[in-house]
């Protein structure tokens, strides 16, 4: 029922859903993961769509997203009528809008599911997922998303979740910079960093970054 356009280990957490196919530009990585999951390692994007009802994508940037949803050539959009795409990449809002439009033209549905968590949460199925797109697409995707995350939040129309994710990243990076400054100064002062992290965790200096990225 679910497949990846770009594979990630979180696929192992799609409990109760059969993974039919995986795809990655790195063929060795795709083949290895397919062996672990007992599914096909597709050589073409169109094969993933052909073998799947729901396709989950995680790509690196806008260019990669546009490539896998190209209007011509090998693309996930080939024969995608009735399919659902769940797109988890951190990309610009306008590209999510483009993909939703292209999917609609092909008779498919698209939903952005931005991840506001880290690798640890992906591995244990406790992601925080912010979703944007048509509410109907969200309702169809929700049972799968609930297996991937402990919190699945519908934000609004396509592009909105990507905006929220960008703000989350901005504030997180500000917090990370402050934490790094504090720990760097502590080291210069000769303080025990393990002790200091424990103090931070129980005071006003508590940081989600410190908790999630040890």
Q: What pLDDT score does 214 carry?
A: 54
Q: What pLDDT score does 14 carry?
A: 52
Is residue 196 within 8 A of residue 183, CB to CB? The reply is: yes
CA–CA separation, 141 and 109 (whole Å): 10
Q: What pLDDT score does 33 carry?
A: 87
Q: Kindly state the tokens that stand for 125.
A: 């199925």
Question: pLDDT band at residue 9, thresholds of 50, 70 and 90?
Answer: very low
Maximum CA pair distance of the chain?
63
Average pLDDT over residues 85-113: 96
Q: What pLDDT score does 81 carry?
A: 96
Measured CA to CA in angstroms, residue 141 lies from 27, 33, 135, 163 at distances of 28, 23, 10, 20
Is residue 86 within 8 A of residue 111, CB to CB? The reply is: yes
Q: What pLDDT score does 15 carry?
A: 56
Find the radius of gyration of the CA atoms of the chain.
19
What are 131-147's pLDDT values in tens digits?
999 999 999 999 999 98
Q: Kindly state the tokens that stand for 195.
A: 């002790």
Question: pLDDT band at residue 213, thresholds of 50, 70 and 90?
Answer: low
**Half-sphere exposure for 22 (CA within 13 Å, toward CB):** 27
Find the DSSP H helices in the chain.
Answer: 27-37, 45-51, 62-68, 93-105, 119-123, 135-148, 160-188, 193-201, 208-212
Q: What pLDDT score does 6 carry?
A: 38
Share of the chain above pLDDT 90, in %: 73
Q: What pLDDT score does 5 carry?
A: 38
Q: Kindly state the tokens that stand for 19.
A: 């993974």
What are 44-67's pLDDT values in tens digits?
999 999 999 999 999 999 999 999
Question: pLDDT band at residue 38, thresholds of 50, 70 and 90?
Answer: confident
Question: pLDDT band at residue 7, thresholds of 50, 70 and 90?
Answer: very low
Question: What are the φ/ψ torsions at residue 144 (nearest 5 degrees)?
Answer: -70, -45
Average pLDDT over residues 164-178: 93
Q: What pLDDT score does 58 carry?
A: 93
Q: What pLDDT score does 210 carry?
A: 76
Beta-ladder partners of 19: 2
Q: Is the pLDDT of residue 126 over 70?
A: yes
Q: Is the pLDDT of residue 96 over 90?
A: yes
Q: What pLDDT score does 10 carry?
A: 40
Mean pLDDT of the chain: 89
């Amino acid at each position: 029922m679910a497949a990846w356009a770009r594979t990630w280990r979180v696929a192992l957490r799609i409990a109760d859903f059969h993974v039919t196919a995986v795809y990655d530009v790195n063929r060795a990585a795709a083949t290895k993961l397919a062996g672990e999951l007992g599914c096909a390692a597709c050589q073409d994007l169109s094969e993933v769509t052909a073998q799947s009802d729901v396709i989950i994508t995680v790509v690196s940037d806008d260019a990669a997203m546009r490539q896998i949803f190209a209007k011509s050539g090998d693309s996930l959009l080939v024969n995608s009528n009735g399919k659902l795409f769940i797109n988890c990449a951190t990309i610009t809002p306008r590209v999510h809008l483009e993909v939703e439009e292209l999917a609609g033209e092909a008779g498919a549905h698209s939903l952005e599911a931005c991840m506001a968590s880290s690798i640890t949460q992906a591995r244990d199925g406790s992601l925080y997922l912010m979703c944007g797109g048509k509410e109907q697409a969200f309702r169809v995707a929700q049972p799968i998303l609930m297996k991937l995350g402990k919190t699945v939040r519908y934000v609004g129309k396509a592009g909105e979740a990507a905006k929220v994710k960008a703000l989350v990243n901005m504030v997180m990076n500000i917090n990370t910079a402050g934490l790094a400054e504090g720990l760097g100064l502590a080291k210069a002062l000769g303080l025990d960093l393990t002790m200091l992290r424990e103090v931070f965790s129980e005071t006003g200096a508590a940081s989600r970054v410190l908790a999630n990225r040890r």
